[in-house]
Structure 1
Amino acid sequence: MQSTVFTILFVKLLCLTLHGMTAVLAELPSPSNIRITSINMGLVLEWDPPQNHTGNLTYRSEYKGKSIRNSYQVVCLDTTALCCDFTRHLNKFGVYTFQVRAEREGETSHWVETKEFVMDEHTTLGPPSVTLVSSGANIEVSIEDPVLRISEFKEIYNHATFNVAYWKEGQEKKVTRMNGIQLHEVVLELEQWTRYCFQVWVVTERFFKQSQPSNVTCESTAKAKDRPWVMALGMFVVMAVSVPLVVLAFWHCYRVVRFLRPKVKLPGHFTVYLLDPQCSSILALQSSPQPDEVYHEVLPTWTQG
């Protein structure tokens, strides 16, 4: 009798053990390689599918703030994607924890949780925008701050400077660096007829963060332009020399014209006399052709006495 009872208990215990082992073996594996990608205050949680599992899985991902009273909030549910974008749910100064699990037809894996993530400290700053404008031998470098997804750059990193590196194209090893620039526009006087390439970083005083480098941008210089005061002095010299020469030329021209076309006027009484009709006839006779004179040669007569 006792052996029979013992046998029954042993069978039941064996069944329970096998059932437990089956349940354990049937449990879904969890996602692996969970990671946070955050650039310019955007935040995306990414993960890899469970290892050695090829079934049709969906995923559930959540987040919560640092406060004890906060509980996890669902953002992505029943998604087959291996990522979830939390950006629009977060605060620029928030501290958050994220978690994700795999699901399939009512079965779920264990949660996989991240470490605390501080938005303004841990996010990566993207590259600034750089524009080059060439003017003679000068190149003006215009820099724009990275564009954040949930805030204005200056609202978080209000003390930031720029590091600028530039070099002649093809001479990347001979780099000139300028660090700690506070202005968004810098004008550099460089060699004429030379092509220069630039790259810029943002450095913040808050958390001493350095941004990703900007794209390499190149621009060519041309012939140097004279400075304004040099141009003004040159114009003054030209005017000081050319004006007297022009006046002198006009004076000589005037004298030549006066010589070739003198302005001589007859006295008034001559003008009246010449306008008289009798005088006019005399003038007409004087102006008519003169008749040929007829004359005979007279020979001298010598007398003896």
Structure 2
Amino acid sequence: MLVLTHTFICVFFLCFIFFLGLLGEDAPLPAPHNISILSTNMKHFLMWSPVIGQGETVRYSVEFQGEYEREYANESWIPICECSLITVTVCNITEDISATVAYNLRVRADNGAQRSEWGTLKGFFIRNTTSLTPPLMKVIADGYHLLVELEDMGPAFQFLVFYWEKSQESRKMVKEVSSAIHLATMEAAAEYCVKAQTYVETINRSSSFSQTQCVRAQGNNVPIHFGSMWLITVLMSCVGFAAAALTLPFLVWKTRKIFQYSCCPIAVLPDALVTFSLCFQGLILQRREEAEECDLMVHVIPSEEVLCLWIQETL
């Protein structure tokens, strides 16, 4: 009797386990749960808890529904292609959340031939609820130039930068898109402070302010690069002086030659005139010697007629 009872219990237990296995195989795949959105600085990520499946890897697909789909497209849903049959439990929905309207999102799990029901986000998501953080900032004193470098946060962001001289209460504000900004020219030895915040025009919201950073300008009136500029000026002056010292004598010599050629050109006499000149000088010397023998000082200046006769006789 005890043996039969023990056998019956074992058979019943085995049958119960078998039926549980059959029921487990036919059990539907649970829908994703704990669906939430993490949105910071206009970047939006949909997240959910993993679904436990049997056998193959569980994959997930995400769809969204905007105001247009709800009101004008018969409450249709649009798949997010980048998040179709993915194995991770996070989806970047930034590109699909392109308007400041209420969005709904849902996630479904697939495990082989099994497919879960849709798990839907509780409530709607509007992108103007994103969390904005102040930009990373670096303040630089370049000589007397007050500069600030800001974190590049994307095309949707602008920067509101406030700066002031620490000894004064008045503050100035600059609104810029660029991440590198020249703020002002500083006074000598003055200390300047800067703080900034991000601003997104599409949602008309600003972040909190960054930590204030202060820098001090130089303590004298000599610019930071004056020594280098002075050295460059001296070197350029020396080079100019050396060039002038080498060029000036040449220019003087060349000018003298040009002037001499223009005003007092050197003429080359023909051979006949050279011979005539020599003969004429000889005639004058001969007449002077004859005059000296007579103890007379005679200045021999041949007339034009005598000169012409002499030339005729000579030629």
TM-score (norm 1): 0.46
Larger proportion of strand: 1
Larger proportion of helix: 2
TM-score (norm 2): 0.45
